[in-house]
Amino acid sequence: MGCADGTNRGKLNTAVALEPDLVLGIGQKKSMSLSDMAKRARLWVCGLACALASAGAHTQVFKCTDDSGNVSFTDRPCVSSQKSEEMEIRAAPAQPSALGKTAAEYESERQQKRAKREELDQRVANAEAEVRKIKSDNVDAEKCSSARRKMAAMKRRDPITYNLDVSYFEFQQAAELYCGN
């Protein structure tokens, strides 16, 4: 796919365009070690990072005014028939309030949430201990066995719908209270 005479004249060799020092002649390439390739890749990455960092620092803008006095702004130079004025726009330095919360503020919030969670956990533990104490204070073996006997009698009498009876529910509550469950 070269020229009619079989040569590659006039055809862009992509290897020449990308890495001219790697191409010695048509079809002949200089070998590159892995460390050289890694160095070259790091160089490309650093260059790209620098280009991106500097691109965000300022932007070049052109103010174009046509013969009618209409003004437009563009990132490319104005047409030759328009009056052109180059403007440089720089980004304002970021202020902490513009970025949101600082790391110290996030840490403070996190500590406040942790303290609140620990307080709630302690309140739950205290409530559970109080319930256990009340149950242990109310343990009455005689009332416990009476409630359990009445529940068992209701189950024997009506094995299907015993738990729908209000009395069964009351006996169940009494058993929980007096048996220490």
Spell out the domain ranges in the chain.
1-57, 58-90, 103-137, 138-181
Helix axes 141-157, 166-179, angle to 10 degrees: 150
pLDDT band at 50 (very low <50, low <70, confident <90, very high): low
Strand order across the beta sheet in which 83-90 lies:
71-74, 58-65, 83-90
Give the tens place of pLDDT for each residue, 116-150.
999 999 999 998 888 888 777 778 888 889 999 99
Phi and psi, residue 89, nearest 5° = -115, 125
Read off the pTM: 0.31
The pLDDT value given to residue 31: 61
First to last CA, the chain: 91
